[in-house]
A and B are shown apart, each in its own frame.
Chain A
Amino acid sequence: MPKQAPEVRRRNFDEVALGYLAETAVQEAKRCLGCKKPKCVLGCPVEIDIPGFIQSIAQRDFVAGVRILKEKNCLPAVCGRVCPQEEQCEEICVLVKKGGQIAIGRLERFLADWEAGQGEPEMPQISAPTGRKVAVIGGGPAGLTVAGDLIKLGHHVTIFEALHKMGGVLVYGIPEFRLPKAIVQREIDYLKKMGVELVTDFVVGKTRTVDSLLEEYHAIFVGSGAGLPWFMNIPGENLNGVYSANEYLTRMNLMKGFQFPQFPTPIKDHSRVAVIGGGNVAMDCARTALRLGAEARIIYRRSRQELPARLEEIENAEEEGVIFDFLTLPIRYMGDENGWVRKIECLRMKLGEPDASGRRRPVPIEGSEFILPMDAVICAIGNSPNPLIAATTPGLEVGKRGNIVADEETGRTSKERVWAGGDVVTGAATVIQAMGAGRKAARSIHEYLSGL
């Protein structure tokens, strides 16, 4: 897929990948075998009819293709961009070994973008009103999916979102250069057109409790996502200039810090930024810092093979000039007299025996301490689930890590009429998994509502 050249894009916030032209898309679609028992579909958490929409592209019937996509996925423009396709649908395409797998995600993105270029989206069939009311807590991918599915079935749906914008991580986490915010907004506008009621600036558990909502709504879906960031508990972590990934990205994305001072939320001008961690979140932070003019490096305790981020994003980061310090563990941050971080002390690691996750465990090399000068550190090592709902909802079973316990197949929780799904149940996962969980919960909620 065509991309902005690395030396250009490392200095702007425009989208990196430029998308297929119609001709390229049709060529790629024609390679698909249209398997009778398509393996690719098994890899897609929302079971999109992949050969179906690809055949439509091959026949240049884009309208039909969009319709097929939207039957199963209410956020195709998002998934086509951020799904880890290489581990999902594309990984098990039968062509993997024969000439290369079909670029399913890119084709999905192509169709969604093509539709956006056509003006008003086609509205789906909406069933007659059932008179049943559903409250969805959290406007991230899980909540948006539940809302989209249930509104089509004729239920009344209200989404309550704590922040001032809908979208969850899609708006406050994933940066503009990977997922333009206009695309997320388009999907949200679509839900609104279908009749979903959107309430922002509303913190469930605070503005109103789950129990109070249950008096007014027949069913509730909790999709409140990830919350409190983890830190490593090493000395100096509360120095100025040590951020959590969530703070850094929220300042940049939701509050548009990268356009300071046009927008009033400030972000510091840093020249050397270290990001601790190796996932998608870490890549996003490093590439954001780079675009603000800093020298950005990733500090990761294992080696390149173990990086949990998507390969495509690792390669993008490398091309753009992010420096990688593998097998390195920060042990201490040191500040100046004003309390600003100035140096990181690290240890070199080597890989030992495999641990419970099957990955080789990093072990420190004794006496290998060294110091890196740095004026900002971004800690991207994970989050606990958002704590507010669990803390204010009696009767809701919560797991050891603070996650809400929900049935994997139905999303039902221990509390009557309350369903849950997405990161608040599984811990940090993916957009499409959150959507998959939303889909299952919507099905179960619909069954329940139909029996009333």
Chain B
Amino acid sequence: MFKIIESQMVVPNMHLLVVEAPAVARQMNPGQFVILRSEEDGERIPLSVSDWDAKAGTVTVVFLNVGHSTSTLASLESGMNIPSVVGPLGNPTEIDKFGTVLCLGGCYGIGSLYPIARALKEKGNKIVTVIEARSSFLFYWEDRLREVSDQLFHITRDGTKGSRGHVSRLPEIIKAWGQSVDRMIINGCTFLLKRGSDVSRSMGIKTVVSLNPIMIDGTGMCGVCRVTVAEATKFACVDGPDFDGHEVDWAELLQRRKQYVAEESVSFRTSRCEEHARRP
């Protein structure tokens, strides 16, 4: 059993959970994920790790409440126990001295980007962080991100903070900033990953995305997480979750993620992630 230390809603429909899992916390690196189960016989829920404390033995996740399992998870209170926390799974994000790194995050990716930006900063990179949301009230952890970034930009679809619009505003932002970008890292929903990669391709910036296909075991057993990258089949849980955003077969991934939508009551969705795809 794993004890919940903290449970709170950080912005509407986005929850933060701090859970005690010392063995997992000890081995954690930026870009890795865990699989949680909120109840006995519950679904296995893969979640990127937004922070951890090896000394206290805790792991922090931020997640969007999209369906049955995530809402069960969101309803848990501190002091309660959950039956599973498995990890750290997947490969860590490549951390090296690249020069200037643009970290782009949206949705839960605003949280999971934080330890990546922090590690890259510690390595001596210049960090420019861009976070995007539907509206300004959906931003969180801005202070933390500011701490590890040389510059923090916002994009909101309604223009309530920073640039108005979508990730397609990225080239302007980079231009305004006036420095060249050596690498881009994107965390968040699949639509953001795809749109961000489209934009960076046109600018010739190497781009690493953290994929989130449907998973079950997360250990390379079931094959449901397969994605096509550079025309080869890869298993995101053991080969990823990070891949080159310019090599991912996005159409296939978006399709595969929709497999169980009809079965799941996709309730109270506030992110409207799919709008990235519809509106250029």
A56 to B68, CA, bound (A): 53
Whether A207 lies near B222 (C-beta < 8 A) is no
Q: Majority SS of interface residues in chain A?
A: loop
Q: Is A38 an interface residue (CB 8 A)?
A: no
CB-based contact A244/B27 at 8 Å: no
CA distance A362 to B225 in the complex (A): 32
* A232 CB to nearest chain B CB (Å): 11
Shortest CB distance A438–B (Å) = 20
A233 to B228, CA, bound (A): 12
A268 and B263: CB pair below 8 A? yes
- Cβ of A398 to closest chain B Cβ, rounded Å: 15
- State whether B27 touches A208 (Cβ < 8 A): yes
Considering only CB atoms, which chain A residue lies closest to B252 in the complex? A238
Q: Does A162 lie within 8 Å of B263, measured CB to CB? A: no
| CB <8 Å contact, A206 and B88 | yes
A residues 213-250 with Cβ under 8 Å of B? 226-229, 231, 233, 237-241, 243-244, 246-247, 250
Pick from A164, A200, A240: contact of B256, CB under 8 Å: A240
B142 interface residue (CB < 8 Å to A): no
Q: Which residues of A lie under 8 Å from residue B88 when comparing CB positions?
A: 206-207
Is the CB–CB distance between A250 and B216 below 8 Å?
yes
Verify A240–B86 contact, CB threshold 8 A: no
The interface size bin for chain B is 35 or more
* B233 close to A (CB within 8 Å): yes
CB within 8 A of A386: which of B23, B42, B220, B258?
B220
Which of the residues B87, B226, B235 comes within 8 Å of A203, measured between beta carbons? Answer: B87
Q: Name which residue of chain B comes closest to A339, CB basis.
A: B255
A266 at the interface (CB under 8 A from B): yes
Cα(A387)–Cα(B24), bound, Å: 20
A386, B221: Cβ atoms closer than 8 Å: yes
Do A162 and B86 contact each other (CB < 8 Å), given the known contacts A247-B216, A255-B216, A387-B220?
A: yes
What residues of A have a CB within 8 angstroms of the CB of B43 in the complex? 255, 264-265
Q: What A residues does B233 contact at CB under 8 A?
A: 231, 233, 237-238
> Besides the contacts A241-B259, A247-B224, A268-B260, what 11 more A-B pairs have beta carbons closer than 8 Å?
A164-B86, A227-B220, A229-B222, A237-B233, A244-B223, A246-B222, A250-B221, A250-B222, A255-B216, A264-B69, A388-B238
14 of the cross-chain contacts (CB-CB < 8 Å) are A162-B217, A163-B217, A200-B84, A229-B221, A231-B223, A239-B255, A246-B221, A247-B222, A250-B216, A255-B216, A338-B258, A339-B252, A387-B238, A391-B238
